[in-house]
Structure 1
Amino acid sequence: MSGRRVIPVFFSLILTPGAFADDAALDGQDPVAYFERTATHAVQGGTAHSETFRGATYLFADEASVQAFRSDPESYIPAYGGSDPVALATRDALVAGDPDIFTVMDHELFVFADSASRERWLRDFDALRQQADPNWRRRHPSVEMVVPPDRHPRGLEKYLVKDDLGAAGYDPVAYFPEGGGAAIKGEKGITQAYRGVTYRFASEAHRARFVQHPTAYEPAYGGWCAYAMAKSDYTKPNPKRFVIQDGRLMLFYDGFLGDTLKSWNKEGPASLEVAADRYWKSESGESP
């Protein structure tokens, strides 16, 4: 897309990117493809696979994406109708987002006018979201938002961070199969701030993956030992002891008192995860 376009305030319908380019929402990019954790760029859809929702026509790369969209379209359409959330929050302006500049957070797609807006959104998400939501609701009072505006803001009191550094400086993407599946220290010169926590990465490619899907890569339970969390306690983990369970990074204590990853596997990962999720929510107010 060339340049940013401000949509007039009197625009009364739900804003969709379809208003920007040849009647195809998101400039014809497949909305479902954004939600693949390994996605680092938009995927072009085709006219052979399309679906109309709320007056906007979305194109898809294949029939599987069409079926996924049909089953739950609210989960895939871009937030704020595809307008830049930072402009909405800070200037109460509807500025068209660029479908190639995006992030997925808490299974919600946000598109941005430029990379600077995306970086600011990642860094100051809580404050900006609390501004953007009421501005959008005022324009579209009859539209039920996928994520309610009274969500619990993220407080870092319960997070394991030192000097704002998360995961003890280890690369969160490296733990996952697409990042190599190993505990690797990040580089001091390759960092990304996300909602008050700074992460380091072993490569720019890993940082780019994180930027697209930060909530998919952050360690569970604020970075604390998952086993301790299941036992209603806080223990610093050994960043080299980990497991990817249900698509989430979980870290474990391994020291003088024992190897909690072994205890986790022995006692039952599924039930312990439920217990850890419950305690973390009671402590932090955040759902897993």
Structure 2
Amino acid sequence: MKRFALAAVAAFALAVPAFAGDQYIDETGFAVSGYDVVAYRSLTPNAVGTPQPLAVPGSSEYTAEYNGATFAFASAENRDLFKSNPAHYAPQYDGHCAYGVSRGGKVPANPHLWRIVDDKLYLNITKNVVTFWEEDIPGNINLAEDNWVGIEANDASGNTIPNFTSPAPSKG
């Protein structure tokens, strides 16, 4: 019986994502600058080396709480999908720049500079950084995964994302 209990605890511990702090929140007050994280799954991704489609704005009418932040959604359906499995839809590294994490730091991320890899959402900070990220996506993910657990829970929230402006989510 003890063996079963230990196996269950180990399985649960491995299934829980590692958090180095709360979700990144900019001056909009929303995670991912108020863009709908579920909607990324319905966008048709472009090839590596080309810009992705623009993120879909969320609405303050449809929100959900997760990892210390409010996420906004374009529809009640997307909000409900998120609530059913928030870890699946939330961006990796608490919404910080994936390339920045691969280099050992926490910096903001631009919701329009995204890519889904192995069914996980990754965000980056600038177009130039996306170029570096895409030179070796698997290698950068491996570096980021190794770095993430050791990055202090310092908070980059509130920092302005370079070359990005976002209105707060619409009022419905």
Question: TM over 0.5: same fold?
Answer: yes
1:263 corresponds to 2:128: no
Cα separation, partners in 2 of 1:152 and 1:210, compared to 1, 3 Å: closer
Structure 1: distance between partners of 2:91 and 2:138? 17
Structure 1: distance between partners of 2:93 and 2:151? 10
1:220 corresponds to 2:92: yes
Aligned to 2:143: 275
Structure 2: distance between partners of 1:153 and 1:232? 15
Structure 2: distance between partners of 1:276 and 1:232? 7
1:189 corresponds to 2:61: yes
The Cα shift of 1:196 comes to: 2.1
Cα separation, partners in 2 of 1:223 and 1:192, compared to 1, 3 Å: same
Structure 2: distance between partners of 1:208 and 1:233? 32
Structure 2: distance between partners of 1:264 and 1:251? 10
Name which one, 1 or 2, has greater alpha-carbon Rg. Answer: 1
1:168 corresponds to 2:37: no
SS of the residue aligned with 2:133?
helix
Percent identity for Structure 1 against Structure 2: 25
Relative CO higher for 1 or 2, CA cutoff 8 Å, sep ≥ 6? Answer: 2
TM-score by length of 2: 0.69
More strand by share: 1
The Cα shift of 1:198 comes to: 1.4
Structure 2: distance between partners of 1:247 and 1:278? 19
Structure 1: distance between partners of 2:69 and 2:17? 17
Verify the 8 A CA contact 2:19 2:94 in the aligned structure 1.
no
Aligned to 2:113: 241
Cα separation, partners in 2 of 1:262 and 1:204, compared to 1, 3 Å: same
What is the identity, as a one-letter code, of the residue corresponding to 1:236? P
Cα separation, partners in 2 of 1:218 and 1:261, compared to 1, 3 Å: same
Verify the 8 A CA contact 1:230 1:276 in the aligned structure 2.
yes
Cα-Cα RMSD:
2.8
Structure 2: distance between partners of 1:238 and 1:190? 21
Verify the 8 A CA contact 1:174 1:180 in the aligned structure 2.
no
SS of the residue aligned with 1:282?
coil
Verify the 8 A CA contact 1:238 1:251 in the aligned structure 2.
yes
Verify the 8 A CA contact 2:64 2:70 in the aligned structure 1.
yes
SS of the residue aligned with 1:259?
helix
Alignment of 1:144-183 (within 5 A): 144=5, 145=8, 146-148=11-13, 156=21, 159-162=23-26, 165-177=30-42, 182-183=54-55
Query: What are structure 2's unaligned runs of at least 5 residues?
Result: 46-53, 154-172
Task: State the Cα deviation string for residues 35-72 of structure 1 (Å, max 9, x = none).
Answer: xxxxxxxxxxxxxxxxxxxxxxxxxxxxxxxxxxxxxx
1:231 corresponds to 2:103: yes
What is the identity, as a one-letter code, of the residue corresponding to 2:25? V
Structure 2: distance between partners of 1:217 and 1:183? 14
Alignment of 1:1-288 (within 5 A): 143-144=4-5, 145=8, 146-148=11-13, 156=21, 159-162=23-26, 165-177=30-42, 182-254=54-126, 259-266=128-135, 268-283=136-151
Cα separation, partners in 2 of 1:284 and 1:209, compared to 1, 3 Å: farther
